[in-house]
Amino acid sequence: MNKFIFVSGGVCSSLGKGVAASSLGALLEGRGLNVRMVKCDPYINVDAGTMSPYQHGEVYVTNDGAETDLDLGNYARFTRGPLSKANSVTTGQVYESVIKKEREGRYLGRCVQVIPHITDEIKARILAVAKEDADTDIVIIEIGGTVGDIESIPFLEAARQLIHESGRGNAISVHLTLIPEVAGGELKTKPTQHSVKAMQEQGIQPDVLICRAPVMLDEPTRRKIALFTNIENDAVFTSYDIDTTIYAIPLIFFDQKVDLVVLKKLGVEARHSDLGQWHAMMERFNSRKGKVRIGVVGKYMELHDSYKSVYEALFHAGLECGVEVELVKIDSARLEEADPAESVLGAKAPGGGVDGVLVPGGFGQRGIKGMVKAASWARNNKVPYFGICLGMQIMVIDWGRNVLGWEDADSTEFNQDSKHPVVSLLEEQESVKNYGGTMRLGAWKSVAQPGSFFSAAYKEKVVSERHRHRYEFANRYRKEMTETGLKIGATTEDGELVECVEWPNHPWGLGVQFHPEFKSKPTAASPLFRDFIAAARDEKQKRL
């Protein structure tokens, strides 16, 4: 029998619902249970693929090529269950399939309505994840948005029905709220009381409350909240503000026995808890020595979530290399104006120079010149460089412009008239008209070339990583580029597509066409991120 945990949020957004749901998942896995995570997103987009990183943060990509909400990235970093298209449910998908069925006449003349047809579709998708694998013990379903939002009503109604249909003790509601502090340092519980009332109006009595608060709530406050929300005294927990790392949250929840209370409510016997890997991770966190400054040169710099997985992967790599990674976020447009790049990246830059440069993924022409400048600077000054997707294409453009001397070398994404289109459209992309879900997406295999940084990092010949791009290293320039020294670190299995380029005579300069950040975990950093940070650390050491 499957058990369900519905995680909802109230009072306001950005309380860390995704991290709370993931931390609970990690704790339950620590007790030997098989957990699956599902995100329900109330937006009408079919997937996150068409949303601007400014609007909604990064697009997380799964092995099967789903372009999902960034919360799936949290699930991937905290838990080990597989994630695919099925784990991300949006209003857009639900309506798309209900409307398709209606057009096919499958509702047999009935009037198609939010209840029961939309809610049934939501329930069917959640149940499908539960049934996918016979070993699944618990499914955690995070409902996006805040209770009270018009958009999330069908999802809450589906949750209510599933809780009812599963029978007592087989499905519970975990609700996350905010306990704000007002002038004078007083903590206020009223918004939480209102938030639970809003849940009750939807027909759901939360079983467990997680209160986001500046500090650990004291016993009288917890009792007061429990009394006014109809929740048991021992089921009110605090997710207090921390200045260490979000990866400490599973342990913070463990100390409060969140997992034990949840399992008791679900009628699941609690087995011995093994959180060894989380403790080891915190030990690495606390024993880091020194710092490397990594210049991230991109175009969506104002919003941290735009490059969420990249920043997390840098942090994971720092844990493994024993150093703190300081992010120096540089809008590439700033580099375009700066002359020379040295004034922004070099030792005399305000705040000091960077020990490594990372150019992440991106789309569109804006800021490209600044990224090429950053790559050139790193290449010439032998500063470790890591290019991801667009960042690899930038290396190829730089090589064309600044080593081969083709001033107009470019990607056809940015200049269709270039006489040297060193990066161009994948052939299969030429006829594509729709934007949604049509890139080269998901897991593809790359074969490492012997003697490359790539093969030194992975220590395996064939690796699988996730892609999300339309453009590609143009093969007609392969000969001239490699003859002048640009190295090919990896290709697809048939040798046709270049998956990695590397700089010769350089401490560590590498670009990959895929996104290794999606598979990086705090307990196991991505090998490429790890070697990039190790190179930045070692080169800094040499300079000193």
- The residues annotated with a catalytic role in the active site are 389, 515, 517
| CB nearer to ligand GLN: pick between 160 and 401 | 401
| CB nearer to ligand GLN: pick between 294 and 389 | 389
75 pairs with which residues across the strands?
none
Q: Least distance to ligand GLN from the beta carbon of 424, Å?
A: 10
Residue 61 φ then ψ, to 5°: -115, 135
SS3 535: helix
d(Cα 520, Cα 526) in Å, to the nearest integer?
A: 5
Residue of 368, 377, 308 lying closest to 340 (CA atoms): 377
Stretch that binds ligand GLN, among 155-163, 219-227, 446-454, 462-470 (CB under 6 A): 462-470
Contact predicate 376/402, CB 8 Å = yes
Determine if 540 is a binding residue for ligand GLN (CB under 6 A).
no
| CB nearer to ligand GLN: pick between 89 and 481 | 481
Determine if 361 is a binding residue for ligand GLN (CB under 6 A).
yes
Stretch that binds ligand GLN, among 76-84, 162-170, 465-473, 491-499 (CB under 6 A): 465-473
Query: DSSP states of 114-169 as a string?
Result: IIIIIHHHHHHHHHHHHHHSTT--EEEEEE-S-TT-STTHHHHHHHHHHHHHH-TT
Q: Least distance to ligand GLN from the beta carbon of 423, Å?
A: 7
d(Cα 308, Cα 286) in Å, to the nearest integer?
A: 22
**Count of helix runs (H) and strand runs (E) in the chain:** 19, 23
Stretch that binds ligand GLN, among 94-102, 361-369, 372-380, 442-450 (CB under 6 A): 361-369
Q: Least distance to ligand GLN from the beta carbon of 84, Å?
A: 20
Report whether the peptide linkage leading into residue 504 is cis, meaning its omega lies within 30 degrees of zero.
no
Q: Which of positions 135-194 make contact with ligand GLN (CB under 6 A)?
A: none
d(Cα 327, Cα 104) in Å, to the nearest integer?
A: 52
Determine if 444 is a binding residue for ligand GLN (CB under 6 A).
no
Q: Least distance to ligand GLN from the beta carbon of 294, Å?
A: 18
| CB nearer to ligand GLN: pick between 163 and 388 | 388
Determine if 95 is a binding residue for ligand GLN (CB under 6 A).
no
Work out which of 4, 385, 471, 518 binds ligand GLN, going by CB under 6 A.
471
Q: Least distance to ligand GLN from the beta carbon of 361, Å?
A: 3
Stretch that binds ligand GLN, among 185-193, 230-238, 453-461, 466-474 (CB under 6 A): 466-474
| CB nearer to ligand GLN: pick between 122 and 371 | 371
Task: Output the residue with the shortest Cβ distance to ligand GLN.
Answer: 361
d(Cα 184, Cα 483) in Å, to the nearest integer?
A: 69
SS3 511: strand
Q: Least distance to ligand GLN from the beta carbon of 413, Å?
A: 5
| CB nearer to ligand GLN: pick between 175 and 468 | 468
Exposed/middle/buried for 116, CB within 10 Å: 0-12, 13-18, 19+? middle
| CB nearer to ligand GLN: pick between 420 and 469 | 469
Lay out the site mask for ligand GLN across 400-439 (x = CB under 6 A, - = otherwise): -------------x--------------------------
Report whether the peptide linkage leading into residue 214 is cis, meaning its omega lies within 30 degrees of zero.
no
Residue of 194, 195, 238, 246 lying closest to 213 (CA atoms): 238
Six token digits for residue 531: 């070697």
Determine if 468 is a binding residue for ligand GLN (CB under 6 A).
yes
Longest dimension (CA), the chain: 77
Work out which of 373, 469, 487, 519 binds ligand GLN, going by CB under 6 A.
469
Residue of 56, 53, 58 lying closest to 42 (CA atoms): 56
- Judging by DSSP bridges, how do beta strands 421-425 and 236-240 pair with one another? unpaired
Work out which of 36, 39, 265, 470 binds ligand GLN, going by CB under 6 A.
470
| CB nearer to ligand GLN: pick between 3 and 515 | 515
Work out which of 145, 362, 400, 511 binds ligand GLN, going by CB under 6 A.
362
Six token digits for residue 361: 């993924």
Q: Which of positions 372-391 make contact with ligand GLN (CB under 6 A)?
A: 389-390
- Tell me the CA end-to-end span of the chain in Å, nearest whole number: 60
Number of residues that bind ligand GLN (CB under 6 A): 10
SS3 189: coil
464 pairs with which residues across the strands?
445
Residues engaged in binding ligand GLN (CB under 6 A) = 361-363, 389-390, 413, 468-471
